[in-house]
Amino acid sequence: MVDHVRRVGSSLWALRVCARTLCRPHGTRCNFPLHPGLTPWANTFRPFRGLLLSKALHLDRIARNTWVLLVSVNLLSSVFVSYGLAQTGATLDREAWLRYAAVDAKAARAYEKLPSSSVLLSRSAVLENAQRELAGGIEKLLGRKLNSTENIKGSAIVLATLHDLHSIAPSLRPPIALATDGYWITWARLHDSECLVVAAPNDRGVLYGMFALLSKVARGESIAGVNEAQNPYAPIRWVNQWDNLDGRIERGYGGPSIFFEDGKVRSDLTRAGDYARLLASIGINGCTINNVNAAPGILEPSFIVQVKRIADVFRPWGVQLSISVDLSSPKVVGGLDTFDPLDPRVGDWWRKKADAIYEQIPDLGGFVVKADSEGRSGPSAYGRTHADAANVIARALKPHGGVVFYRAFVYNHHLDWRDLKNDRARAAYDNFHPLDGKFDDNAIVQIKNGPIDFQVREPVSPLFAGLRNTNEAIELQITQEYTGQQKHLCFLVPMWKEVLDFDMRVDGTPARVKNLLSGRIFRRPIGGFAGVANVGMDTNWLGSPMAMANLYGFGRLAWNPDLSSEAIVDEWTRLTFGSDPAVVKTVADLQLRSWHVYENYTGPLGAGTLTNITGNHYDPGPESSEGNGWGQWHRADHQGIGMDRTVATGTGYIGQYPPEVGKLYESLAACPDNLLLFFHHVPYTYVLHSGKTVIQHVYDSHYEGAEEAQGFVTEWKNVEGHVDGERYQDVLSRFEFQAAEAIKWRDVICKWIYQLSGIPDNKGRVTQ
Ligand code: GCV
């Protein structure tokens, strides 16, 4: 009976998810607000209201009644369901990878030696939090209470800074030197008792070590004889949220902001605290809470006191808050008649502003700046450089230990598309390379992974190798703006791995991107990773449970980019869905193939995502790339396709790479197939390394990709009964939706390229 009710509940849940998926706007530049008077169904039709008003209102009436019925039945079923399951899918979603599912009795035996008490050698909000999380986790995982005691009396789990540990055990040393935030988990005899020690140079490191310990138990990894020390790869491991103060999120697909609502900080910040907990568990130590298209009002004193409340809920999790600021703030907020970075009054204004904020938020991480980009104000207004702009802010933050992230995403979006020498891809390097060495040492240039804008495939930005005397951080996009907006499965870790592992061959020697941005190659003091996350109020944070693997993966790579995609997905699956071999195998297979599948049915051969770039960045829209100044051109015409970025005949962009890399891309013969159209304009009949012509590759890859997307549905069905019903249905309905969308993509792109080229598909599948 309970099973039956569960099934009904799950189906209704699936219906709701379907409805929500279809009703959510695709995330336009600013998602249009849901009209409060209409149900979500009618809101779907709002943008087309001129055309569809009467039909939409009629539908709305039907939908309203159906909706009420569905919600009531679903509520009723939830009551029954909760009798049958300890946790519902909704709870599981919210806990994400921190669900701490009970370990089965057999596996639990491996942890019998785990001490039954924990001890803190000193106290702080972070350490006390770590102790609480440990007790909560162990209780859920092993069903055992962990007492907290004041002193070591018998075997205990000891949470301590290295400093405190040495005061009771001076000879105890970690196997490697620990950096800030690093940790060490080991067994040691303390006060004559066998203890499990989690130690670190700072409190946050202890918290990270504690999470690592819980993760081991949750994944069934042995802790007998554990002696593991880990350091983070780079000091900067931040997420950025593009949240607007009115509660909407630019390019957010998981509901409204967890921080802001109606122009204010939310009164209930529970989700903000829960988010900080998730971030801490994967080693993320900073979060920028507002859109880089920053509302100057965030710097008003009345707003800063509100922001302080967010910093307060972040703090126990070791997450430093930071703020995106608009460069015109001295004028707009401060009432000066200028925001010229070299005007002393402007410097003074930033200094006083920083001082005032640090009084409220003493551990503020710093500021993020987007300037002279997509209509934002910038130093060009006064003929100043980006270094001038970054430094005036850096100097205000410096006395407080803060940093400024200055985004390299600076380009002219009014380029003349008729000029074949124009190239948006050149912009970051052209703007920032000449300024190398001119940025203060607490300024960091934040560089998107590729030279355009988070497309499904781009080469790495040459700027990573172009800054030798400047700190840098890579900006990766976790929210799937151009990669399916969480409606399509697209696990981005394999893409990020390719970027991070890419060897730039600086001065003819190995220079992997991960080593450039972490500061290892050019011996920079700081650097690292920023991920645009855009989680929202949806129970499952990103709008889709499977998409959370991207947030998890970002954190794990920022901690250790040497981890493999396979290892990351395996960890995530076990923590999120459990260790049932059928689930582990299926989820890994789906996730690991998904980026390539998405690339296949959207934009192959480096042509760009081929999505609607002037609208929702979601639907197929290859024509939208051309004939405008945005510069996401693929230059497809009747003869051929691709951007000529060569030095010899094209825009010269390839010349921005170190010579060995440049040589690879400049040569048509050597250029890898998957980036061919990014670098070269070729006839449709050009033959790839694979032996296929470009046009046949486009046809075949779209048919293959769409077919693989159909296969996702069948493959997911293998786990029915192996995961809880709610998440099973939720994911299933998403795969079904994706399968239909992939066919739409296939047909639009194939038809478009057939009409342009006039060359038929040699398998006869594509018609006018
Ligand atoms: C926050 C792209 C996105 C914009 C985003 C911008 C940026 O253009 O579409 O929404 O703005 O990148 O990264 O600044």
Q: How far is the centre of ligand 1, averaged over its atoms, from the C-alpha of 741 (Å)?
A: 24
Residue in 617, 605, 673 with CA at minimum distance from that of residue 483: 617
| pLDDT given at position 171 | 95
Residue in 371, 500, 387, 367 with CA at minimum distance from that of residue 433: 387
Contact in structure between 146 and 118 (CB atoms under 8 Å): yes
Concerning whether 419 is annotated as a catalytic residue, the answer is no
| pLDDT given at position 9 | 42
128, 228, 312, 374: the catalytic one is: 374
Report the alpha-carbon distance of residue 192 to residue 356 in Å, rounded.
50
Q: Which has the higher per-residue pLDDT, 81 or 380?
A: 380
Q: How far is the centre of ligand 1, averaged over its atoms, from the C-alpha of 370 (Å)?
A: 10
Q: Is 491 left (phi over 0), alpha (psi -120 to 50) or beta?
A: beta
User: Which residues have CB under 6 Å of ligand 1?
Assistant: 29, 242, 250-251, 291-293, 370, 374, 409, 453, 481
133, 340, 475, 481: the catalytic one is: 481
Averaged pLDDT score across all residues of the chain: 90
Nearest atom (ligand 1) to Cα of 29: 10
| pLDDT given at position 8 | 42
User: What mean pLDDT comes out for the span 194-199?
Assistant: 98
Report the alpha-carbon distance of residue 314 to residue 310 in Å, rounded.
6
Q: Which has the higher per-residue pLDDT, 424 or 16?
A: 424
Q: Is 519 left (phi over 0), alpha (psi -120 to 50) or beta?
A: left
Confidence band of 272 (pLDDT split at 50, 70, 90): very high
Question: Atom 9, ligand 1: which residue's CA is nearest?
Answer: 29
Structure confidence by residue, pLDDT tens digits, 712-737: 999 999 999 999 999 999 999 999 99
For residue 460, count CB atoms less than 10 angstroms from its CB and return exposed for 0-12, middle for 13-18, buried for 19 or more.
buried
Report the alpha-carbon distance of residue 304 to residue 300 in Å, rounded.
6
| pLDDT given at position 495 | 98
User: What mean pLDDT comes out for the span 502-528?
Assistant: 97
Q: Which has the higher per-residue pLDDT, 747 or 29?
A: 747
| pLDDT given at position 271 | 98
Cα 261 from chain centroid (whole Å):
22
How many residues comprise the chain? 768
Which tokens is 44 given? 């779907």
Confidence band of 147 (pLDDT split at 50, 70, 90): very high
Structure confidence by residue, pLDDT tens digits, 158-174: 999 999 999 999 999 99
Nearest atom (ligand 1) to Cα of 532: 13
60, 453, 475, 724: the catalytic one is: 453
Question: Atom 12, ligand 1: which residue's CA is nearest?
Answer: 453
Contact in structure between 16 and 73 (CB atoms under 8 Å): no
Concerning whether 374 is annotated as a catalytic residue, the answer is yes
Model confidence at 79: pLDDT above 90: no
Which tokens is 525 given? 């003091």
User: What mean pLDDT comes out for the span 347-368?
Assistant: 98
Nearest atom (ligand 1) to Cα of 251: 10
Model confidence at 39: pLDDT above 60: no
Residue in 419, 416, 386 with CA at minimum distance from that of residue 404: 386
Confidence band of 49 (pLDDT split at 50, 70, 90): very low
| pLDDT given at position 150 | 87
State percent of the chain over pLDDT 90.
87
Task: Write the secondary structure of 341-378 as one string of H (helix), E (strand) and C (coil).
Answer: CCCHHHHHHHHHHHHHHHHHCCCCCEEEECCCCCCCCC
User: What mean pLDDT comes out for the span 119-146?
Assistant: 98
Q: How far is the centre of ligand 1, averaged over its atoms, from the C-alpha of 557 (Å)?
A: 23
| pLDDT given at position 307 | 98
Contacts of 462 (CB under 8 A, 6+ apart): 429, 451, 504, 653, 656, 657, 658, 661
| pLDDT given at position 64 | 41
